[in-house]
Amino acid sequence: MDIKEVSHDTDELVKHMHKEYPGLTKPLTDLYIKTGAEGVLSKKTKEIVLVTLAVASQCDYCIVYHVKRALKAGVTKDEMIEACYLATLVFGTSAWMHITDVLKAIDAFKD
């Protein structure tokens, strides 16, 4: 999996869906923006949770997207990996194997 290509594909999908299906896509992105905003939980905490959920769901595109956002929110590699072990507790080693994707995405997007 080419991390940068996956990131580009995700960005292009969002643009395409907004253009072709705005009535369906806008409410979804509005919800994402609203729930991802600073609230009782910080953006950093929310991105840690989202990386964990992406690993639990074993969604490569989700992992890349949320690792990139987590790094921008100030989440450290160690915080992400520790959180990924929580997904492993519930979903087992199939989720654990996707930590590989987290590590690759961290390397691809770290400054």
**What percentage of the chain reaches a pLDDT higher than 70?**
100
**pLDDT the model gives residue 81:** 96
> What domain range is 78 assigned to?
3-109
CA distance 106 to 81: 10
User: Average pLDDT of 29-54?
Assistant: 95
3-state secondary structure of 33: helix
Whether the CB-CB separation of 47 and 57 falls below 8 Å is answered with no
Q: 83, 48 in Cβ contact below 8 A?
A: yes
Average pLDDT of the residues in 96-100:
89
Q: Which residues contact 43 (CB under 8 A, 6 or more apart)?
A: 36, 37, 73
CATH number of the CATH domain containing 27 = 1.20.1290.10
What's the pLDDT score for residue 96?
A: 86
Dig out the tokens for 43 from the structure: 């953006």
CB 52 within 8 A of CB 98: no
**Residues 50-89 pLDDT 10s:** 999 999 999 999 999 999 999 999 999 999 999 999 999 9
pTM: 0.85
| Whole-number average pLDDT of the chain | 93
Give the C-alpha distances (Å, rounded to integers) separating 50 from 14, 18, 22, 66. 18, 22, 24, 6
**How many domains does the chain fold into?**
1
Supply the pLDDT for residue 1: 78
